[in-house]
Structure 1
């Protein structure tokens, strides 16, 4: 019996093609040298046609940022949905979040710069990303409280402890400031910080 043909990925829609091309241009040239005209030329359309999908270069850049962050958000959501104890979930989420920040700084510097620029300008993609991350962390802390694993008097104080203590490892500008530190050193400090956070949540210091 003949084998079935391999699954073929669905072709990209027009806006997905534009996004993929724009992301590639930012990777190679940086956002400052990426233009709607050059993206349109590679997509085989006029720049006016690009504006049908993205009304400005800023809107296109914001969409590139959102698309770039989506796999990380999916990974964090999978961890949050797993049937693991809350402390394990929280540790895995923080390590994944901080690890992704550092990975992308090292392997995708121009898109990381775009991310920081969007962060500093408080662009919609970054606002939504920040809220999604906070919501997932809040879920893990809340589960720990419900299971009496975390001795936290107020949920918002527990979440604040997590975010404040790990700020250096997850806040994009802070991550870039540590660019010259060896990855091994950063990872060791992160692991120690996460252990202290979990100890604080379990010990009821907030």
Structure 2
């Protein structure tokens, strides 16, 4: 054991992800994480007071990775309808890629996310806030007619849930999925349009 190792929360989270990938969620322990870092498990507990807090931090980190590209789109300038469509398509693509690239880790993260209810709620609320920001921009630009951006954002999030919620992951291999997404997005964008002035 090397207690001279500079241990940071980020290093611990990276090691935890590696341990989860190797052993799976059911078998991975804090001792395994400590062993991977060549430190005592007490050193890990100095940064994360419990196994549950470590697992919650891993779930939060994973959700933040999903969030980063979406936040860039939400904060970008440009026409709101194009940004909203790009934001939604990006969210769908990120989730679908996670499932297809590493289904075992996706299942692991899904389980971790279910355990970290507060983290997941904050993540969802943040996504709805990003949609609301785009909708507000659209109202300012005169391209969207929305009376309550937050309520409309929640409705959009809920209306598209089939394409981004992990509970529907088995449906994402449907050959008609792309067409269904196109139809739904066209309907959403049309419904948000501000009436044209004559």
Q: TM-score, normalised by structure 1?
A: 0.83
Deviations 1:5-29 (A, max 9, x none): xxxxxxx853222111111122233
Structure-2 separation of matches of 1:27 and 1:134: 30
Q: Does 1:186 align with 2:177?
A: yes
Unaligned runs of 5+ in 2: 1-5
Q: CA deviation at 1:122?
A: 4.6
- Aligned residues of 1:150 and 1:202 also touching (Cα < 8 A): yes
Aligned residue for 2:144? 150
Structure-2 separation of matches of 1:116 and 1:71: 14
Deviations 1:137-167 (A, max 9, x none): 1101111122221122332342133112201
Q: CA RMSD in A?
A: 2.2
Q: Does 1:177 align with 2:176?
A: no
Q: 2:29 aligns with which of 27, 35, 41?
A: 35
Structure-1 separation of matches of 2:126 and 2:150: 15
- Aligned residues of 2:19 and 2:36 also touching (Cα < 8 A): no
Give the stretch that moved more between structures: 40-49 or 61-70.
61-70
- Aligned residues of 1:27 and 1:109 also touching (Cα < 8 A): no
Q: 1:27 to 1:192 in 2, by over 3 A?
A: farther
Deviations 1:98-151 (A, max 9, x none): 111111111232332233224434533322211211111110111112222112
Q: 1:61 aligns with which of 55, 69, 84?
A: 55
Unaligned runs of 5+ in 1: 1-11
Give the stretch that moved more between structures: 188-197 or 37-46.
188-197
Aligned residue for 1:22? 16
- Aligned residues of 2:56 and 2:113 also touching (Cα < 8 A): no
Structure-1 separation of matches of 2:11 and 2:83: 35
Give the stretch that moved more between structures: 85-94 or 190-199.
190-199
Q: CA deviation at 1:203?
A: 6.2
Give the stretch that moved more between structures: 100-109 or 85-94.
100-109
